[in-house]
Amino acid sequence: MGQRFSVFSSKSDTAAEEYLAKPSGACCLEGTIHQGVSRGKWETIADVETYIATPPAGKENGNVLLYFPDVWGMFPNGLLVMDAFADAGYLVLGLDYFRGDPVWKHRKNRHDKTNPNFDYEAWKRKHTAFADEAVPKWVKAVSDRYNGDGVKFACVGYCFGAPYVCSELAKDTVSVGAFAHPAFLKEHHFENIKKPLFLSCSETDHTFDVPSRRRALDILEKGGKTYHYQLFSGVSHGFALRGDPSDPYQLNAGNVGWVKEQSLAGIVNWFDYWLAQ
């Protein structure tokens, strides 16, 4: 078993909006570090450390996937998930907008009191401010580098990364996007998207609860957006990245669990379909 341990406009109208998916909270401090060896490489792109996972020879589909991590940053689980997307044919790039300062370095879990002076709210404000500035520059740099005949871009975000997915789906570079167990989302994130969105969610999620999910779906439906909603019972926030290996429904010793794999497969199939159109 493994070891336990804003994208918002500055305008007053969006600043005054209530959250649908709340900022990362205590549920984001729960999880398990999974076993495995990542195979990607690191490179600095637009002044941000970037993990690059390359598809196996002969499996390349010619498309690029942008990965926006959760508050645990570029930890083993995230790297292994990026490798899994690469196994599906995508060239995957993920940026470390926490700059080597993920939340788990301060709190191993929500009960951890070893660092009583850690200010979670200040940590979120600091890294959100940086990410809000860095992500658009990074996306442009990646697009400039890899854009070419037939190349299309997708994006995926977990928790903290969800608003960056919605932001890109409101622009022109990315053709399709997905998020799992999101945080930091307001109504305008759903109202403004122009591209297909896949929502992978858990039944129990204090960050994106039932009323918020229903409101988000209402916005997408009334706005005529293209979307797919996936919901898993019996799991909570973080299921797609930080599942418990003591529960084979979530994860087993081989880092394979039904819920985790179905979330990833659903996202891959969504990307494959829309990028083929």
Kindly report, residue by residue over 159-177, the tens digit of the pLDDT: 999 999 999 999 999 999 9
Whether residue 40 is predicted with pLDDT greater than 90 in this model: the reply is: yes
Using DSSP, how many helices (H) and how many strands (E) does the chain show?
A: 7, 10
Q: How high is the pLDDT of residue 54?
A: 98
Whether residue 61 is predicted with pLDDT greater than 90 in this model: the reply is: yes
Q: Sign (positive/negative) of CA torsion 95, 98, 102, 105?
A: positive
Active site residue 83: no
Q: How high is the pLDDT of residue 107?
A: 75
From residue 41, alpha-carbon distances to 52, 83, 93, 277 in Å are 5, 11, 10, 31
Whether residue 251 is predicted with pLDDT greater than 80 in this model: the reply is: no
pLDDT-based confidence at 112, cuts 50/70/90? low
Q: Which of 181, 188, 189, 237 is catalytic?
A: 237
Q: Sign (positive/negative) of CA torsion 206, 207, 212, 218?
A: negative
Q: How high is the pLDDT of residue 8?
A: 35
- Taking only the tens place, the pLDDT of each residue in 224-249 is 999 999 999 999 999 999 888 878 89
Q: How high is the pLDDT of residue 255?
A: 61
Alpha-carbon distance of 156 to 63, in angstroms, equals 13
Q: Which of 27, 28, 155, 159 is catalytic?
A: 159
Q: How high is the pLDDT of residue 2?
A: 39
Please give the backbone phi and psi of residue 212, each rounded to the nearest 5 degrees, phi first: -70, -40
Tokens 């977990």 belong to 158
Q: How high is the pLDDT of residue 10?
A: 38
Active site residue 159: yes
Q: What is the mean pLDDT of residues 95-118?
A: 84
Question: Both ends of the chain: CA-CA distance in Å?
Answer: 42
Whether residue 5 is predicted with pLDDT greater than 50 in this model: the reply is: no
Alpha-carbon distance of 58 to 69, in angstroms, equals 27
Contact 61, 75 (CB under 8 A): no
- Percent of the chain past pLDDT 70, that is, above it, reads 88
Whether residue 3 is predicted with pLDDT greater than 60 in this model: the reply is: no
Amino acid at 169: L
Active site residue 205: yes
- Taking only the tens place, the pLDDT of each residue in 179-225 is 999 999 999 999 999 999 999 999 999 999 999 999 999 999 999 99
Higher pLDDT, 27 or 151: 151
Q: How high is the pLDDT of residue 86?
A: 98
Whether residue 6 is predicted with pLDDT greater than 50 in this model: the reply is: no
Q: Which of 70, 132, 205, 244 is catalytic?
A: 205
pTM, 2 dp: 0.91
Whether residue 269 is predicted with pLDDT greater than 70 in this model: the reply is: yes
Contact 41, 123 (CB under 8 A): no
Whether residue 4 is predicted with pLDDT greater than 50 in this model: the reply is: no
Q: How high is the pLDDT of residue 111?
A: 64
- 124 CB-near residues (< 8 Å, 6+ apart): 23, 24, 71
